[in-house]
Amino acid sequence: MSVTDTDPSTEAPAPKRRRAPKGEMRRAALLDAATQVFARDGYLGASMRDVADIAGITTVGLLHHFPNKVALLRALLDRRDQRITERFGDLVTSPDLEGFLQFLRLSMGFSVESADECQASVMINTESLSDKHPAYPWYQEKFDMVHGHAQAHLASLLEGGEIRADIDVKALAQEIFSLMDGLQIQWLRGRSSVDVLHVFDVYLRRLANDLKPSLQAHP
């Protein structure tokens, strides 16, 4: 939210903080319940009745907010988009290799903040490999966008001499995201034994050392 400077002598009292209406709170609770069910059963195996049971309302009450399971899925994906925008929309990182690696770490941390959200995303992402799945367009768009942005960033680092000239930016982006996706599955399988951010930090340090241009010896 933007603010403007005003004359203190004429400044109106600050408005009270807006509370979320009950309808918004109910909708958020329903999406939380859907996240739990999708994490457990995937989208294909989930039932509206199970979502309603967890939320503590009737199926008819759930259908008042979301007329079918596809609408519920789309609302869940929209909320994910919103949270990503809120977290990273205004983020400014330094345009060097260190800034790129810091952004990757923030992204990895965001992915594993919530076990239910992480598992629901992994389950739906896997199901949506079929182009008949209602989430196929969303995940395909995110795949293309994320890989495109990473490749463009790496290309700018290459052009600026921040990384070795022989780096294949497309292959490197695929490597990075393959590791990030795989780490999420490893963490979901063994949360008590897999320290995601420690493993990722080790990888990023090794990656940084590998990407830096070698020093040329001068005669």
CA distances (Å), origin 69, targets 26, 111, 124? 17, 24, 13
Q: What is the pLDDT of residue 91?
A: 77
**Percent of the chain surpassing pLDDT 90:** 80
> pLDDT per residue over 25-69, tens digit each?
899 999 999 999 999 999 999 999 999 999 999 999 999 999 999
Look up the CATH number of domain 91-211: 1.10.357.10
Torsion 38-42-44-49 (CA) sign? negative
Segment 16-31 mean pLDDT? 75
What span, in angstroms and rounded, lies between the C-alpha atoms of 127 and 124? 5
Average pLDDT, the chain: 89
Residue 15 has pLDDT above 50, yes or no: no
Looking up tokens 């799945």 gives 133
What span, in angstroms and rounded, lies between the C-alpha atoms of 57 and 53? 6
pTM: 0.83
What span, in angstroms and rounded, lies between the C-alpha atoms of 19 and 37? 28
161's tokens: 């001499």
Encode 156-193: b = buried (16+ Cβ within 10 Å), e = exposed: ebbeeebbeeebebeebbeebbebbeebbeebbeeeee
In the chain, the amino acid numbered 82 is Q
Residue 19 has pLDDT above 50, yes or no: no
What span, in angstroms and rounded, lies between the C-alpha atoms of 113 and 188? 12
Pick from 162, 142, 144: nearest CA to 153: 162
> pLDDT per residue over 165-211, tens digit each?
999 999 999 999 999 999 999 999 999 999 999 999 999 999 999 99
218 pLDDT band (50/70/90 cuts)? very low
Look up the CATH number of domain 20-76: 1.10.10.60
215 pLDDT band (50/70/90 cuts)? low
Query: Helix 115-127 vs helix 69-88: angle between axes, to the nearest 10 degrees?
Result: 120
Q: Do domains 20-76 and 91-211 have the same CATH topology?
A: no
Torsion 124-129-135-139 (CA) sign? positive
Q: What is the pLDDT of residue 61?
A: 95
144 CB contacts (<8 Å, ≥6 apart)?
A: none
Q: What is the pLDDT of residue 217?
A: 40
10 pLDDT band (50/70/90 cuts)? very low
Q: Return the domain boundaries, the chain.
A: 20-76, 91-211
Segment 100-121 mean pLDDT? 96
Which of 23-27, 84-88, 98-102, 214-218 is most confident? 98-102
In the chain, the amino acid numbered 19 is R
